[in-house]
A and B are shown apart, each in its own frame.
Chain A
């Protein structure tokens, strides 16, 4: 090991010494098998956008059924064939739509697409590192993600259709391979398990890289409390993922054994058409424990990166230091710890011991504390700032709005006594879509609009961005707010026609469906804007040119990513990595609009920390 260190130190002495190691990039190594964190970030983002479109489209399809259960849509038959005979979505396909919508958006868009994109982009840039701890494993992480996606997508085109037993994959329905029981429980669900396994491997490979990079590869002077909140959030997200995804993998392994090799981990005394099957002793509740041991932390895997991005965007675009930096960090830490001990609040109606339920209620409600601290700090950050109403900042503000609206119903649902009434109703759907789905999307959009110049050296179109924001904000509330008032309406039902009492929700259902279609079309604006701007967007203004490299700083940001040239440079900085002298939120201090982290303290200047 000593020789290793010696050899390395020699290298470090001469920054231009590594010129001799350079080799030309081919198309294949630059765009396809890239080990560069920025390119991998783009790969994750574009794959995520693809999945976002697919996942959103699926929801539009099932909203057609829910909004107009008695109508037929002949054009659907030409697209979906036997899944929509006569223009009406079949019952089997409806469940497949709901299942795959959940799977795709939770895992492929808001986990892979969100964490994958921004952890890859921001961690090396903002901690001041040339790349990830292991660029090769980072590349594998993307390829496993893509492979998982290919498998999932493929399952749409098999005869029995994709998985249709719910994104939570509960046995016993998913424990049997019998397509007579449930069409999607055949090959479709095997592919679901395979896809999820690949996805878990991808998340783990990515996560361990993110953590190792943040803890080991920071530039000089970048102590932990000089890290931007994005990095704290992304790192804790990775910690949650690395510790909780294995539980889901274990759950899936046991499930696949039940399906393929007839073990009875989750199955007990199943009777099909009067025949008693040979399974004995299993318990479907065991799966729920394993699933929700991931499943609950998973919602924090989704929301924490969004929180980090929003913190950064709000401070930058309000030209104010983040309010309560350390409170933010410790809130994320508190959320991390609590996220592991609340999973059974998804299982209040499984016959859980009520005393145990009370404990889980307590921990669940405790999460309100760090969440409220964060909300308070975001508002404190924007308060009396020089707020720019750019699309990035609007989405960040929209995030805070959504997070509050969704969080309030969380307090209601977290109580086991109330949850038992509301379990599996539209109220729950409204809650988690607002607090986790839409919020995370808002955080993601804020991030994309804000860091698009870093990714492509160009801006996204601001006008389209604003239209996109207002459609999404108003539309998302229009979709999910009415759901709170559909009292007692069970979720996941194909039709409510047999329930007289639910007839008065017909108008609301139709209204929600119209809003969903409009919001989906609104996202087309984003996609068009995104791809148009890659090639034709307004270029980032060049502030200075040093040694043939152009530098800019479009939003006036303090963090390290804009000390790197505008062009994509493998290794991020042409010379030495700049050292860091101050915390990342010196906005509007000392009579300056912003002071970059790389600027040394003036004599007599007191550092923030």
Chain B
């Protein structure tokens, strides 16, 4: 019996126990996992701050506040994109996705700017443990942002490539898999945005 079922057949309607799609549930578990990752890094920072006598405090560059705004912007726009998608307003969807992508890139640029401000102030990667932690944690978070941007880019390319094709748009409406994947992407972005807000507040409180 050399046949295989499509993924959709395998997954059909299995939301009766938790009320969510299994893949979305899996993403939530992944979020719990990522939370443990950042919790480990930030608690390591707290431990070292507590036991290292020459810990150097410094002022967190204001750039990081702007990147916080940028990342909140991503959340707003990508959510707007999802809403337009659900209403089948694909033109709106494309532009909202595009703007959130731009804001995501802006976030990364601002993070780099934040690093250069720190370096200009003498706090290089190896200058003091306090700075090292900031670089490593922001870099680890940045990797998640890059992954989010890459996936977002795939969505945008697909959306723009086929924008003239009414059949494609029609297929989009009835394709629950594509809508699910979009929902997963949006949830992921909300999550990493929230992580950054947490990290910003954490840094703000710990580097005073």
Contacts and interface: CB of A to CB of B under 8 A. Distances in A.
Interface of A: 1, 3-5, 7-9, 11-12, 18, 21-25, 29-30, 35-36, 129-131, 133-137, 204, 207-209, 211-213, 215-218, 242-247, 249-251, 253-254, 257, 261-265, 278, 280-283, 286, 289-290, 293, 567, 569-571
Given A247-B36, A251-B40, A265-B132, 14 more contacts: A3-B173, A5-B176, A7-B176, A8-B12, A21-B9, A22-B4, A208-B29, A217-B17, A250-B40, A261-B125, A262-B126, A263-B126, A265-B48, A281-B54
A571 B9 contact: yes
A133 B26 contact: yes
Interface in B114-163: 125-126, 128-129, 132-133, 136, 140
A218 B125 CA distance: 50
Interface string B156-179: 000000000000000001101001
B62 interface: no
A413 B14 CA distance: 46
Contacts, number: 185
A571 B13 contact: no
B44 interface: yes
Contact of B48 (A22, A213, A217, A281): A281
Contacts of A293: 40
A11 B9 CA distance: 8
B47 to A, nearest CB: 6
Contacts of B86: 1
Interface residues of B, number: 54
30 contacts: A9-B13, A21-B6, A25-B3, A25-B4, A35-B7, A36-B4, A131-B10, A133-B23, A135-B7, A212-B29, A215-B17, A215-B18, A215-B25, A216-B20, A216-B21, A217-B17, A242-B29, A243-B36, A247-B37, A249-B40, A257-B136, A263-B126, A278-B126, A281-B54, A281-B129, A283-B47, A283-B51, A286-B44, A286-B47, A570-B3
B37 to A, nearest CB: 4
B54 A11 contact: no
Nearest to A290: B40
B14 A216 contact: yes
Give the one of B4, B21, B55, B132 with max A CB within 10 A: B4
Interface in B1-58: 1-15, 17-18, 20-23, 25-27, 29-30, 32-34, 36-37, 40-41, 44, 47-48, 51-52, 54-55
B23 A218 contact: no
Given A8-B176, A208-B30, A264-B129, A254 B136 contact: yes
Contacts of A249: 37, 40
A546 B27 CA distance: 39
B199 to A, nearest CB: 14
Given A23-B4, A134-B23, A264-B129, A208 B13 contact: no
